[in-house]
Structure 1
Amino acid sequence: MLIDTTLREGAQLFGAYFNIDTRKRIVAGLVALGIDEVELGWVGQEDLQELAEYGRSLNGNTKFSVWSPCREEDVITVSKLPVDRINIGVPVSDLHIEKRLGLDRAGLLKKLTKTVETAKNHGLRYVSIGLEDLSRADEAFALTVALLAKVSGASRIRLADSLGQLTPKATENLVQLFSSQINIDFAVHCHDDFGMATANAVTALGAGAKYVDVSVLGIGERSGISATEELIAYLSLNNENHPYSTEGLVDLCSFVSSAAGVTIARTKAVVGTDIFACESGLHAHALSKSPELFEPYNPELVGKTRKLAVGGKSGKSAVASALSDGEIAPLVKDFSERNLSALTQAVRKLSCELMRPLTKGELVELTLNSEK
């Protein structure tokens, strides 16, 4: 199950500012995708009441939550909002406990107990406790914090790799350790500092975690976290066991890209413009015969179209296939295959000069000239 935190973690991206209209559009897009939970922001943020009411007005089964630090007064503030859940952040590494909070371990445990009890007493039925900087914490103490959270009334524990330190194997071990000791729902929050966030999130689900945090395009602090579009595509198109919609992924990612000022690389998994583009001779020829040979899923499932072109990497088969294209074939119907080798060489030469694949118009012109 996916917790999208584009409006909390994602909004912490350096230089990203989302006004209320932008936030509403992101919420609507996420609900349309079938996201299980949307973290609307952090306590004290402007327009949370309006945003939560808007989310509830949408037709979907998405739950809405707000993040809060481990402070009783902030929890009380969240309790007045029309949200389903509260996500409370609790640092568990000694470095954060001492230098950030000015507490010792005993003080943290006391603070946690009072905060969770306050949340429950103020009508917050679903309390999630996020163990921040867990990958640098003492595991025994972190387990103590998690157990105390459950005993105090928490419904979920969020295991946070706050600095992206974990590998998939380490993530698996951590999830299995906690789930073997405490009977409660677990979520993971995986940062991407070493490029492993999505892999760690997928591994966590396989190891027994019920939830993973994601954000659109993976935006967030530093290099961000697991990407919403990657998890949705993997869970829906690879496993085909999850009911997430992939229909609006490209549009939502494009919108967030513009709003956050983050460029989408043309090779970006799931939503890049060129992920279904091919000019390599062997691959292009194979794709023209049977797309599943070199495509993990149908491009149309994520709003993409296949793009084949000839160029400096093309062989005779790829060029011949390109000439049979419905738009090109009528224009080169008199082409003789005797000249295919020469045409292929001409295609490669021109492509290398232009330093790009050829357009359909350029291929037609080159073909017609080769016949003269």
Structure 2
Amino acid sequence: MNKKITIFDTTLRDGEQTPGVSLTNDQKLKIARQLDKLGIDVLEAGFPISSEGDKQSVKAIANEGLRLDVCGLARVLTKDLDTCLDTGVDMIHTFVSTSDIQRIHTIKKSKEEVLTMAVDAVQYIKDHGVKCMFSAMDATRTDLDYLTQIYKAVEGAGCDIINVPDTVGIMSPSRMYHLVGAVSKEIRIPIDVHCHNDFGIAVANSLMAAEAGASQIQVTVNGIGERAGNANLAEVVMCLQSIYGAKTNINTEYLLETSKMVEKYTGIHMPPNTPIVGENAFAHESGIHTHGVLTKADTFEPGIMTPEMVGHKRRIVLGKHAGKHAVQKSLEDAGIQTTDEQLDEIVRRIKAIADKGKRICDADLHAVAADVLGRNLGSETIKLKELSVMTSNLTTPTAVVRAIVGDEEAVASNIGTGPVDAAVKAVQQMIAGYTKVKIRDFRIEAITGGADALAEVTIGVEDEDGRVVTAHAASTDIVTASVDALITAINILLDKKKLWNMQ
């Protein structure tokens, strides 16, 4: 595909229509800045007529001075269009139902009335000097002759780009190819597509549309949106660039960073096996795979897409399928040298732990290696002495941590959205002079039942150099378990940092 494809992001509009998702204006502004950094071409900032809050957030984004074009959504109604114009957007995306099922049962208009409304809306937008995108809503269930007629009519009215939406996600890739191909033969202005993921093929449908002549694809970060969501931004972009060889303006090294931001603000967490941005996207456990990857990454990775291209990192994960090479590499990364006999014993014990259903952390590897080698490994730069947490319905959760850091006693306090957040922030504040860490992974699992259940917290931390360490701890107090796991991980990380600096 030797052409340029522009990317239209609708995370802040269709993405926010995900059931249960509601973003604040500040969060929307932060996401908009991130999408601008990512290189999105057009950002659909919202549906201004839907609420005063949405109108104000669209206006704030439009006035932010971003490089991308800011777009607002509007029905083919003057009040919608005027509200969009009031926000100062660069483009208005106007739409009307064109399929018989929607036209008859929702807006109750004739084909002639819909055609007139569409043309009038486009002319109104263009008379106000703003770019215009027109969508024939439910295009994929609209009679092709009528669909072509309405697209040609809005083109004649001055429309800048038309959108072919698969509103209810019922297209197959081959049908999408033929539909977009047929439309592209009738009009001269650019074609954009908006595919829903009801059958899990929104990305495939979007790519086939691009093959057939579409020059712009609508996406959302993490594929969020109405019902089963929309075409996933990362998947569409990396397929276009790595498989098709097409060009986009996306700075792909920020894809993971962007995914994590939207995940945090929406509360919708990506499964580990999510392509490209998932925790396991570049993770390897199987002995055959890890041996190959450690020798040459392309043996068991696509090659045309590397973890570095998307802001990710390759991980070797220890577990029941781990081989000798993976364990040896993990030990070497921690500065631990073993004999062949010791390595075999460490591998045996790691597999035995994993066979019991436990996830292997860096702390487990250190503990097993220390026992097999018969000596302490590393040092405790941080030794926790006291942890206090204050929380109630009337006060902001506050944590105070006292510890020996190096050879000196240190005390730090911080506030958070909850007691665990406050405690984690206090620890991060305390060790700021040694290293800066951010939380990459945080999981809580109850391992006994009842009101006094024992909970196990697994935590992954990353330092400023991108090194990641995992550890876990168990306690009846989740805050205590969280801090214990965090401090264990940081101590291992600081040992790795010392090793790294000596090399």
Give the alignment's TM-score, normalised by structure 1. 0.89
Q: In structure 2, the residue corresponding to 1:128 is in which secondary structure? A: strand
Counterpart among 301, 307, 320 of residue 312 in structure 1: 320
- In 2, the alpha carbon distance for the partners of 1:148 and 1:292 equals 51
Counterpart among 341, 350, 353 of residue 353 in structure 2: 350
Contact 1:323-1:329 at 8 Å conserved across structures: no
Superposed counterparts of 1:9-28, under 5 Å: 9-28=14-33
Correspondence for 1:165 = 170
Query: Where has structure 1 moved over 6 Å in runs of 4 or more?
Result: none
Correspondence for 2:451 = none
Shift of 1:300: 2.5
Q: Is 1:190 the counterpart of 2:195 in the alignment? A: yes
Correspondence for 2:76 = 70
Q: Is 1:208 the counterpart of 2:213 in the alignment? A: yes
Tell me the C-alpha RMSD between the 2 structures.
2.4
Q: Is 1:114 the counterpart of 2:101 in the alignment? A: no
Correspondence for 2:231 = 226
Q: Is 1:140 the counterpart of 2:145 in the alignment? A: yes
Q: Which amino acid in the other structure matches residue 257 of structure 2? A: D
Q: Which amino acid in the other structure matches residue 19 of structure 1? A: T
Shift of 1:329: 7.5
Counterpart among 233, 239, 261 of residue 267 in structure 2: 261
Contact 1:332-1:368 at 8 Å conserved across structures: no
Q: Deviations over 1:105-163 (max 9, x none)?
A: 12211222222222222333x21111111122211111111111111221111001011
CA gap 1:171/1:263 in 2 versus in 1, 3 angstroms: same
- In 2, the alpha carbon distance for the partners of 1:217 and 1:86 equals 24
Relative contact order (C-alpha < 8 Å, sep 6+): which is higher? 1
CA gap 1:240/1:212 in 2 versus in 1, 3 angstroms: closer
- In 1, the alpha carbon distance for the partners of 2:78 and 2:335 equals 74
CA gap 1:344/1:43 in 2 versus in 1, 3 angstroms: closer
Q: Is 1:2 the counterpart of 2:10 in the alignment? A: no
- In 2, the alpha carbon distance for the partners of 1:120 and 1:332 equals 71
- In 2, the alpha carbon distance for the partners of 1:353 and 1:328 equals 26
Correspondence for 1:302 = 310
Normalized per residue, which structure has more strand?
Answer: 2
Shift of 1:53: 4.8
Contact 1:346-1:366 at 8 Å conserved across structures: no
Normalized per residue, which structure has more helix?
Answer: 1
- In 2, the alpha carbon distance for the partners of 1:223 and 1:41 equals 19
Q: Is 1:80 the counterpart of 2:86 in the alignment? A: yes
Shift of 1:237: 4.6
CA gap 1:50/1:277 in 2 versus in 1, 3 angstroms: closer
Correspondence for 2:434 = none
- In 1, the alpha carbon distance for the partners of 2:20 and 2:315 equals 34
Q: In structure 2, the residue corresponding to 1:75 is in which secondary structure? A: helix
Q: In structure 2, the residue corresponding to 1:225 is in which secondary structure? A: coil
CA gap 1:11/1:34 in 2 versus in 1, 3 angstroms: same
- In 2, the alpha carbon distance for the partners of 1:88 and 1:122 equals 14
CA gap 1:6/1:90 in 2 versus in 1, 3 angstroms: same
Q: Which moved more, 1:149-158 or 1:322-331?
A: 322-331
* Structure 1 runs not aligned, ≥5 long: none
In our comparison, the structure showing a higher alpha carbon Rg is: 2
Contact 1:191-1:224 at 8 Å conserved across structures: yes
Shift of 1:249: 2.4
- In 1, the alpha carbon distance for the partners of 2:45 and 2:186 equals 31
CA gap 1:95/1:295 in 2 versus in 1, 3 angstroms: same
Q: Which amino acid in the other structure matches residue 27 of structure 1? A: A
- In 2, the alpha carbon distance for the partners of 1:184 and 1:268 equals 35
Give the alignment's TM-score, normalised by structure 2. 0.67
Contact 2:62-2:90 at 8 Å conserved across structures: no
Q: Percent identity?
A: 27
Shift of 1:71: 1.1
Q: Which moved more, 1:191-200 or 1:344-353?
A: 344-353
- In 2, the alpha carbon distance for the partners of 1:231 and 1:299 equals 16
Superposed counterparts of 1:44-55, under 5 Å: 44=49, 45-46=51-52, 48=55, 51-55=58-62
Q: Deviations over 1:35-79 (max 9, x none)?
A: 00001111324353564454453452x111111011123223323
Q: Which amino acid in the other structure matches residue 311 of structure 2? A: G
Q: Deviations over 1:242-273 (max 9, x none)?
A: 33112332232222222222111111112111
Contact 1:49-1:82 at 8 Å conserved across structures: no
* Structure 2 runs not aligned, ≥5 long: 1-5, 375-503
Contact 2:61-2:70 at 8 Å conserved across structures: no
- In 2, the alpha carbon distance for the partners of 1:241 and 1:181 equals 25
Contact 1:236-1:244 at 8 Å conserved across structures: no
- In 2, the alpha carbon distance for the partners of 1:65 and 1:329 equals 50
- In 2, the alpha carbon distance for the partners of 1:218 and 1:27 equals 16
- In 2, the alpha carbon distance for the partners of 1:221 and 1:65 equals 19
Counterpart among 145, 149, 158 of residue 153 in structure 1: 158
